[in-house]
């Protein structure tokens, strides 16, 4: 954009933005004539994607602020009014600990109320799974969760849910996007006082908290064991300044399990002062809990992200603590849940396990060994929620457990998004069961490897900020799609699956078949000659591109040899991936 176009958009935004903090930010940039920063904030509007909004907090059309939240919510409200009967127009809004989350949630709730949609708003922060649960509990048609999940402090966003408690999927996602893009200057607004007086805004807490907590505790598979031995298990837990502290602690304590919460990270704080990335997937975020784990001689360390939908853990390993990957924790939980339910006679003959196309196939092997049907879906937990809905509508399968590699798990169907609270209680029970068996969680994991083969995964992420970064990611995906390499990490590529075109290319013959039944998605998957798998996709929520590598060795191989072999493959794949990324960025 030229300077005149930038200024025109900035002046229009200043007029429309009612929040003084964000309005003054843009005014200041205009006065300073900072056209480079203004261009970043106005070269496009913050995109309302298939799941909602996410972006940096700040003034401007390409930022998360009160105006962009109000505009997006007006689009959602318009969609509801056009497609839902008046008596069913009910919504729930919740928020986590991020900066301005409370402001944005109230803004969204009042826009919904102004459109005649009865809206339940939580009085304080809540985890994402509580919002998912609340949508069904309150018989709502939609829900909004104000959060940017595990992103750095400068981000916020919101996720949109539909009446099944899952994030929106077709046709609602595209329908909502159309309405959001059609919003111009007519955004509904009502005061909080008037909305409450008219019964259009209702503040809630225990109406949802109590049944949700009861549901979490009721999922215990070995209640007698937990009641008898629970206090012997020592857990160190960190909510990473997020929304998990109260629900996780309440659930574990009701089960009779001892919890030490990291004091420096117990209080909600959107600046996340002790971590750069509030993400339990990464070692740096768990450093304080690892320190306390050693001091307290813990049996288990757990961490949840700001909206408490992701769970990361660490377990004792020869006097130190070893972080367990999302793929490994998924395997451990799958084996424990299926094994236990089989032992106690509650594993249904039509049981189903669901994970995503970038999640370890080790979990698929475990599920099949227990006789479960298995399903792969696109990345994004909403697709697991959609699969559960299909099972229920078709009366075909009973969902038991599912998850994704990025530390997202769902036990049961009361929630339709990943639930770190339920995952935390089930993980604690799994760890307790292992301890009472006279072995460690790592012993349990090694038993799984010996039975099903050794698997190792790696995630290679590269950030590309701003307008230029988006262009680099587009170029990289185009290059990989049009002129793919013949080998990755020294291993020949045998098949290339293109989820955007729904095709599989068989490299030896050159044959291309349209045989992928999943929805179109900008994802490429390279199957290597000996069974390893490399998947590449631009993130839907962050300015980065992700490469997922999964390598394995057959059952029966010495574990140390298997670990060495897979590590060598991973290292070679990482090297080539970094070279490909570097060449695209030139």
Interatomic CA distance for residues 350 and 333, integer angstroms: 19
Residue pLDDT, tens place only, 385-407: 999 999 999 999 999 999 999 99
Token readout for 198 is 């008219």
456 pLDDT above the threshold of 70: yes
51 plus 174 within the same structural domain: yes
524 forms beta bridges with 498, 536
Alpha helices in 373-519 (DSSP H): 381-394, 420-436, 441-452, 466-482
Distance CA 511, CA 499 (A): 16
Give 244-259 pLDDT, tens digit per residue. Answer: 999 999 999 999 998 9
Cα-Cα-Cα-Cα dihedral sign, residues 353, 358, 362, 368: positive
Residue 544 confidence (pLDDT): 84
Average confidence (pLDDT) over 204-209:
97
Residue 50: pLDDT over 80:
no
DSSP, residue by residue, 104-123: HHHHHHHHHHHTT-EEEEES
Q: Which CATH number fits the domain that encloses residue 263?
A: 3.40.120.10
**61-65, 186-190, 217-221: the lowest-pLDDT one:** 186-190
38 lies in which domain range? 3-204
Mean pLDDT of the 532-539 span: 91
Residue 430 reports pLDDT greater than 80: yes
| 491-503 b/e (C-beta count within 10 Å ≥ 16 → b) | bebeebbbbeebe
Which of the listed residues 394, 421, 452 is the one where a domain comes to its end?
452
Clarify whether residues 338 and 401 are in a common domain. Answer: yes
Please choose, from the candidates 408, 352, 411, 361, the residue with its C-alpha nearest in 3D space to the C-alpha of residue 382.
408
Give the tokens for residue 87.
């008596």
Q: Give the per-residue pLDDT at 213.
A: 97
Asked whether residue 425 falls in the same domain as residue 489, the answer is no
- Mean pLDDT calculated for residue range 35-64: 92
| Peptide bond connecting 171 to the previous residue in cis, omega within 30 degrees of 0 | yes
Confidence band (pLDDT; 50, 70, 90) for 541? low
The kind and range of the H/E element at 204 are strand 201-204
Residues 218 and 144 in one domain: no
Distance separating alpha carbons of residues 149 and 121, to the nearest angstrom: 19
pLDDT at 540 over 70: no
Give the pLDDT score at 102: 98
Residues 36 and 160 in one domain: yes
Please tell me which residue, 580 or 347, carries the higher pLDDT value.
347
Q: Looking at the 3D structure of the chain, how many domains does it have?
A: 4
Q: Which of 169, 204, 239 is the last residue of a domain?
A: 204
Mean pLDDT of 363-383: 96
What SS3 state is found at 561? helix
Contact 523, 533 (CB under 8 A): no
Q: What is the pLDDT of residue 141?
A: 98
- Is residue 530 over pLDDT 90? no
Per-residue pLDDT tens over the stretch 64-118: 999 999 999 999 999 999 999 999 999 999 999 999 999 999 999 999 999 999 9
Q: Quote the mean pLDDT of the chain.
A: 94
pLDDT, tens digit, 9 for 90 and up, residues 132-189: 999 999 999 999 999 999 999 999 999 999 999 999 998 999 999 999 999 987 899 9
Q: Are 426 and 520 part of one and the same domain?
A: no
User: Are both 279 and 242 inside the same structural domain?
Assistant: yes
Residues 41 and 186 in one domain: yes
- CATH code of 496's domain: 3.30.310.50
* pLDDT confidence of residue 583: 81
Query: Are 490 and 556 members of one domain?
Result: yes
- CB atoms under 10 Å from CB of 152, counted, come to 14
pLDDT confidence bin for 465, thresholds 50/70/90: confident
- The arithmetic mean of pLDDT across residues 307-315, rounded, is 97
pLDDT number for residue 547: 93
- Is residue 586 pLDDT above 80, yes or no? no
Q: Is 80 helix (H, G, I), strand (E, B) or coil?
A: helix
Choose, from 78, 101, 142, 149, the residue flagged as catalytic. 149
Cβ(245)–Cβ(223) below 8 Å: no
Helix then strand then coil, % of the chain, to nearest 5: 45, 25, 35
Q: Which of 204, 220, 250 is the last residue of a domain?
A: 204
Q: Which helix (H) or strand (E) holds 81?
A: helix 66-83
Considering only residues 374 and 529, tell me which one the structure prediction assigns the higher pLDDT. 374
Is the CA virtual torsion 325, 327, 330, 331 positive or negative? Answer: negative
Q: Look at residue 107 in the predicted model and tell me its pLDDT.
A: 98
Mean pLDDT of 455-459: 93
Q: Any catalytic annotation for residue 149?
A: yes
Instruction: Please check whether residues 198 and 339 belong to one and the same domain.
Output: no
User: Residue 509's CB: how many other CB atoms inside 10 A?
Assistant: 7
Do 254 and 161 share a structural domain? no
Q: Are residues 484 and 578 in the same domain?
A: yes
């Amino acid at each position: 954009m030229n300077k005149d176009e930038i200024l025109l958009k900035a002046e229009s935004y200043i007029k429309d933005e009612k929040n003084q903090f964000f309005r003054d930010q843009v005014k200041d940039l205009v006065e300073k004539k900072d056209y480079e920063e203004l261009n970043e904030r106005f070269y496009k509007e913050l995109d309302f994607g298939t799941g909602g909004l996410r972006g940096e907090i700040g003034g401007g059309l390409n930022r998360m602020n009160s105006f962009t939240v109000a505009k997006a919510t007006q689009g959602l409200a318009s969609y509801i009014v056009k497609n839902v009967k008046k008596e069913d127009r009910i919504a729930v809004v919740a928020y986590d600990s991020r900066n301005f989350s409370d402001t944005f949630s109230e803004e969204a709730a009042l826009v919904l109320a102004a459109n005649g949609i009865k809206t339940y708003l939580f009085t304080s922060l809540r985890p994402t799974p509580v919002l998912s649960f609340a949508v069904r509990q309150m018989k709502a048609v939609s829900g909004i969760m104000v959060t940017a999940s595990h992103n750095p402090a400068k981000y916020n966003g919101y996720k949109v849910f539909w009446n099944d408690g899952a994030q929106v999927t077709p046709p609602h996602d595209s329908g909502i996007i159309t309405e959001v893009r059609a919003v111009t200057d007519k955004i509904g607004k009502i005061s909080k006082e008037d909305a409450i007086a008219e019964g259009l805004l209702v503040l809630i807490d225990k109406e949802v908290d109590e049944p949700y907590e009861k549901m979490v505790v009721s999922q215990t598979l070995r209640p007698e064991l937990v009641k008898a031995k629970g206090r012997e298990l020592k857990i160190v837990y960190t909510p990473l300044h997020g929304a998990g502290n109260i629900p996780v602690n309440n659930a574990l304590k009701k089960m009779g399990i001892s919890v030490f919460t990291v004091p420096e990270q117990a209080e909600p704080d959107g600046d996340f002062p002790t971590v750069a990335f509030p993400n339990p997937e990464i070692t740096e975020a768990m450093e304080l809990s690892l320190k306390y784990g050693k001091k307290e001689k813990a049996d288990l360390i757990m961490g949840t992200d700001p909206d408490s939908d992701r769970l990361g853990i660490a377990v004792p390993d020869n006097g130190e603590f070893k972080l367990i990957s999302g793929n490994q924790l998924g395997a451990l939980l799958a084996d424990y849940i299926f094994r236990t339910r089989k032992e106690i006679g509650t594993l249904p003959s039509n049981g189903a396990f669901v994970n995503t196309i970038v999640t370890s196939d080790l979990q698929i092997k475990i599920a099949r060994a227990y006789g479960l049907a298995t399903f792969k879906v696109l990345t994004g937990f909403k697709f697991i929620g959609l699969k559960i809905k299909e099972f229920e509508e078709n009366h075909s399968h009973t969902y038991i457990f599912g998850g994704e590699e990025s530390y997202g798990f769902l036990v049961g169907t009361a929630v339709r998004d990943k639930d770190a609270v339920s995952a935390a209680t089930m993980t604690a029970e799994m760890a307790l069961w292992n301890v009472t068996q006279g072995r460690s969680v790592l012993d349990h994991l090694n038993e799984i490897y010996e039975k099903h083969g050794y698997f190792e995964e790696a995630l290679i992420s590269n950030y590309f900020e701003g307008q230029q970064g988006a262009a680099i990611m587009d170029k990289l995906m185009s290059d990989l799609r049009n002129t793919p390499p013949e080998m990755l990490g020294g291993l020949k590529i045998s098949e290339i699956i293109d989820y955007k075109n729904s095709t599989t290319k068989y490299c030896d013959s050159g044959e291309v078949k349209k045989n992928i039944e999943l929805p179109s998605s900008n994802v490429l998957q390279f199957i290597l000659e000996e069974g390893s798998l490399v998947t590449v996709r631009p993130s839907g929520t962050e300015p980065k591109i992700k490469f997922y590598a999964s390598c394995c060795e057959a059952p029966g191989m010495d574990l140390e040899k298997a670990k060495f072999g897979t590590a060598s493959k991973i290292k070679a794949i990482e090297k080539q991936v970094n070279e490909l990324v570097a060449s695209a960025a030139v």
